[in-house]
Amino acid sequence: MTQVLVIAEHANGKLNASTAKCVKAALSLAGAEITVAVLAAPGSPVAAQAAQIAGVTRVLDIAHAVNQHALAATLAPQVAAVAGPFSHVFGPSTTFGKDLMPRVAALLDAPQLSDVMSIVSATIFRRPIYAGNAITTVEVAAGTKVVATIRIASFEASAGSGSAKIEAVAPAADLPSHTRFVELAAAGGDRPDLQSASKVISGGRALASADAFKIIYGLADKIGAAVGASRAAVDAGYVPSDMQVGQTGKIIAPELYIAIGISGAIQHLTGIKDARTIVAINKDAEAPIFEVADIGIVGDLFTIIPELTKLIDASRK
């Protein structure tokens, strides 16, 4: 039996889809018995949500006031304190996981694997390198505790039909006093989370200004999509860095990805290669983005987007 601990990602009382994808990855291990650790404030409904993920045997409800906000410095000691019986500790390769899991690995004195995209066995894993242009196979010694971040773009979410038992746990962990939550400044308002959204619309340098991005926000709101951007748009100051999609930004795998005014540099394509359907809008017919797009529209985005918006409005009347 392979004992796997999955660290749940959640916010505002809702379990992130990345957790179910980590569970799906864990199910690739032969004889996996999967436990999900939920670190949240007392009274949080997240543990109950995690218990419904198919394939999960047990949920550890680690309730503590300091877990109201996901600070890696305070979460890591608690994770390390409960990780003893587990051979594998998985977290999502999201901003949350990339911040937390290296600390957990350090506390456990264990090797960490980043961006695992497939699991061959309990000791052999595959991950992308060179902007996704090559895949490397990594092997650890038998009996080694493995801490890993899972590339959520490479796995479907495990279905929500489970009924795992929930166990309240109070780990004996020394929590740091030098770290405290001050405030959270987040962009995007009520739009879906960029890393877990089923639909994403991204804008590029062709928007030419921060004000012009309003046309992207408007279309996104019409279809309930998250909004992303290319690195060029971020570097130009049109949007904040947390909206960046690509090798040095967020790796995503939505059902629908619409790239507007994005040329398609290899660094950007790395972040979207697992998207199910890619639509590209660009006035340059030779733009590399069209090589990977399922649907391509050549033309001026400032003409095409308003027309698309009108068609969407007309279809709803």
Decide yes or no: CATH 3.40.50.2300 for domain 2-168. Answer: no
Q: Summarize pLDDT for 95-151 with one digit per residue, the tens.
A: 899 999 999 999 999 999 999 999 999 999 999 888 777 899 999 999 999 999 999
Task: Give percent above pLDDT 90 in the chain.
Answer: 78
**Where along the chain do the CATH 3.40.50.620 domains lie?**
2-168
pTM, full prediction: 0.82
Domain 199-315 - what CATH class? alpha beta
Query: Residue 189 — very low, low, confident or very high, per pLDDT cuts 50/70/90?
Result: low
Q: Summarize pLDDT for 275-317 with one digit per residue, the tens.
A: 999 999 999 999 999 999 999 999 999 999 999 999 998 888 7
Cβ-based neighbour number of residue 179 at 10 Å: 11
For residue 131, the model assigns a pLDDT of: 73
For residue 181, the model assigns a pLDDT of: 85
Average pLDDT value over all residues in the chain: 92
